[in-house]
A and B are shown apart, each in its own frame.
Chain A
Amino acid sequence: MQNYVIKKEDLNKLVERALDDYDVYAPVQKKSIHVYDQISDPASMDLNYGQTMTSAKKLFNPPVENMMTFDFDKKEIKDRLEDTIPENPSLIVGLHACDINGLLFLDRVYGGEYDDLYYQKRREKTTIIGLNCLESCESGFCRSVNTHIVFEGYDLFLTPIEDERYYVNVGSPKGDRLITLAPDLFEEATEDDVDAFRKSLQKKHESLPVEFHLDNLMETLDMAWDDPIWEEIGEDCMNCGSCALVCPTCYCFDVVDEVGLDLKESTRKRKWDTCLYYDFALVAGNHNFREEPEARLKYRFYHKMRGAVHDQGIIACTGCGRCIDACPAGISFLDVLAQLQKNWASAPTIEGGN
């Protein structure tokens, strides 16, 4: 595959041109935080960001979505799939490797035996320009969960190299097309550029810490079901669900019917939900399989780090660190996992990172 380089200032020109055909989303600074937002001016995007507060999953699986409408008089169901998908194709600029890995996880959940067309159609209509992180962000621990690298799931992937340029990996035909639309902005990578790319990767690997060993986490969790840590953090956890809302891989949803005020039709909607809420595992007759707050928090850890491996073949954590920033009780997903590995060490643990 041919690789390219582009000047940082020319990326803005590319986005400028893309605005004619695409809805463009990029990290934008709002007060002290960054969020993915739709932009109409390339100058408003800020690629020099650590982490956005919420993940990009909202662009593929919105917090609330209309699935279908039922007409009470005609007794007809109208599928809302087509009008829930944006008309224009989307372009997301500056998605970090952790978030692209999050999408690769969602691709598995919403694919497989049954297709989830609401997600899949949005995904198909979206072009992603990824951005390599050469430095660790404040709460992230991507290298501990191997999501600091990504080989698919993007269309173009940018790595900052010397002289204010990006090294460009092409990940898909959609990415290829983007380059052919603006051939004047891209140059084919020379041997020197490849060398500069390698140096940037070296810098990245030197700066990203390893905080725990993923390879023995499965064994650890199998032993740690009765560890006292669950009771400790269970007492602190407010079951507010903030961690799940900001998580790029938390995909649970609830389905509700809402009747219109004219009583002529009802709309079936799906909404983000989380296993931390009391009624998540409640069944008819008021039997709750996870009655206690502690049981629900523990389940979230086990589903993400253990159960997902059986379901989807990979853990449901990208090490983005958003849950750590979002938790009002100060519970750190990373610290809990690191502590469990210490308590149940079957392999060398890492003291004080690195």
Chain B
Amino acid sequence: MQVEVKRENEYVPNLAVLKNRTDMTELETLFEFEFKDKDLQDHFSYKPGQFIQLSMFGIGEAPFSISSTPTRPGTIELGIRRAGDVTEAIHRLEPGDVVGLRGPYGNGFPLEKIKGKDILIVAGGIGLVPLRSAINYIIDEREDFGHMTLFYGACLPEERIFVDELENDWPSAPEVDVLQTVDECHETWMGNVGVVTTLFDKYEVDSENTVALICGPPVMYRFVVKELLDLDFRRDEIYMSLERRMKCGVGKCAHCQVGHKLVCKDGPVFTYFEVQRLQEAI
């Protein structure tokens, strides 16, 4: 159950301390935060696929998908790429430093609704950041879900994130298959080479009782959706997480408006059926 933490002024964040940082690639690091407030540490919860607004005071605030799972409470993990002013500043943080966090916001992946189903997850690059939350949630609540397959594509082997889990934790979990591919590689890479859609030729996906969760760069969606439709996936059982530049996170500033939907409130997870009807969505 999600316990709602009510703040008086929605825009004012709560203080949180950086506990740990783990560099994953040259650009991406996993940051583990803990709320300063003990009550909040105990009661803060969220759904996989939701996001949080992180404040670097003096620099700005930006939205980040949550990478940890609510089944492992206590801290919040955010996988963050260095890409702009706010993320550059986050990457300079050391354990003990203080930031502001508010949320969680957005709808998240529909994990309640897809209980009992097989799940195909397709992730490209840092699209694995929100999906890692769903993957670990499903592994922790294993009996509630059917078989889980992960297709993960990255440009280069060294650009992959959560490598330890990709190589060890997930493949050894019950009823989980993990397939990886890279666009380009060196001689040391023994796995698949090619864009993520090439994995559809290497693995038989039965769409009968399966839903798809996908997240990746905008260009990936079109090609992955085509594969899924060819396999007879239903349009409303393909879930995709969209990225926009949210400022408020709560449906007021309109920065993330796409067509008639707000990515922060109505999303960030939409079905392909919904996305199809939104101009400029992907």
Q: Which residues of A contact B (CB under 8 A)?
A: 67-68, 70, 72, 75, 77, 79, 81, 109-110, 112-117, 225, 251-257, 259, 266, 268, 270, 273, 275, 280-285, 287, 289-290, 295, 299, 302-303, 306-307, 309-311
Cα A257 to Cα B261 with chains together (Å): 27
A279 to chain B, nearest CB (A): 8
* Contact assessment for B10 and A251 in the assembled complex, using a CB-CB cutoff below 8 Å: no
For chain B, the bracket of interface size reads 35 or more
Q: Which of B8, B59, B243, B279 contacts A257 (CB 8 A)?
A: B59
Instruction: Tell me whether B11 is interfacial, beta carbon within 8 Å.
Output: yes
Closest to B252 in A: A116
Closest to A284 in B: B83
Asked if A75 contacts B15 (CB within 8 A), the reply is yes
6 contacts between A and B (CB under 8 A): A116-B252, A257-B57, A257-B59, A259-B58, A275-B254, A310-B260
CB distance from A283 to the nearest CB of B (A): 5
Cβ-closest chain B residue relative to A287: B218
B215 lies within 8 A of chain A by Cβ: no
- Expressed in whole angstroms, the Cα–Cα distance for A109 and B81 within the complex equals 32
Interface of A, secondary structure class, is mixed
Q: In the A-B complex, list the 7 residue pairs whose CB atoms are closest, starting with the nearest.
A: A310-B260, A70-B57, A266-B58, A307-B260, A114-B250, A284-B83, A252-B254
* A266-B57 in contact (CB<8A): yes
Residue B258 at the chain A interface, CB threshold 8 Å = yes
Q: Which residues of A contact B265 (CB under 8 A)?
A: 113
Name the residue among A72, A110, A257, A280 with the largest chain B CB count within 10 angstroms. Answer: A257
Q: Which residues of A contact B100 (CB under 8 A)?
A: 70, 77
Q: Which of B13, B244, B251 contacts A77 (CB 8 A)?
A: B13
Minimum C-beta distance from A225 to chain B (A): 6
Cross-chain contact of B243 among A115, A225, A283 (Cβ < 8 A): A283
B259 is an interface residue with CB less than 8 A from chain A = yes
Nearest opposing residue in chain A for B81, CB measure: A284
By DSSP majority rule, is chain B's interface helix, strand, loop, or mixed?
loop
B255 at the binding interface (Cβ < 8 Å): yes
Tell me the B234-282 residues at the A interface (CB within 8 Å): 243-245, 247-248, 250-255, 257-262, 265, 279-280
A112 to B258, CA, bound (A): 19
Instruction: Across the interface, name the chain B residue whose C-beta is closest to A112.
Output: B251
B255 to chain A, nearest CB (A): 7
Interchain CB contact under 8 A, A255 and B248: yes
When chains A and B are docked, how far (Å) is the Cα of A188 from the Cα of B196?
Answer: 76
Which residue of the partner chain A has the closest CB to B253? Answer: A253
CB nearest neighbor in A for B82: A284
CB neighbours of A275 from chain B (8 A): 254, 257
- In angstroms, Cα B258 to Cα A281, docked, is 10
**Whole-angstrom distance between the Cβ of A210 and the nearest chain B Cβ:** 26
Q: How far is the CA of A112 from the CA of B261 in the complex (A)?
A: 15
Whole-angstrom CA separation of A311 from B8 in the bound complex: 24
Beta-carbon nearest neighbor of A71 in chain B: B57
Judged by a CB distance under 8 angstroms, whether B191 is at the interface is: no
A284 to B261, CA, bound (A): 20
Given known contacts A70-B58, A79-B12, A283-B243, A110 and B252 CB-to-CB distance under 8 angstroms: yes
- Contact call A109/B260, Cβ cutoff below 8 A: no
Distance, CA A298 to CA B89, complexed state (A):
35
Contact B255 A113 (CB under 8 A): no
The proximity string for B residues 130-161 relative to A, scoring 1 for CB distances below 8 Å and 0 otherwise, is 00000000000000000000000000000000
Q: Is B9 an interface residue (CB 8 A)?
A: yes
In the complex, residue of chain B having the shortest beta-carbon distance to the beta carbon of A116 = B252
Contacts of B81 in A (CB 8 A): 284
Residues of A contacting B11 in the complex (Cβ-Cβ under 8 angstroms): 67-68, 268
CA separation between A42 and B60, bound complex, in Å? 44
Known A-B contacts A79-B9, A311-B262; A114 and B58 likewise in contact (beta carbons under 8 Å):
no
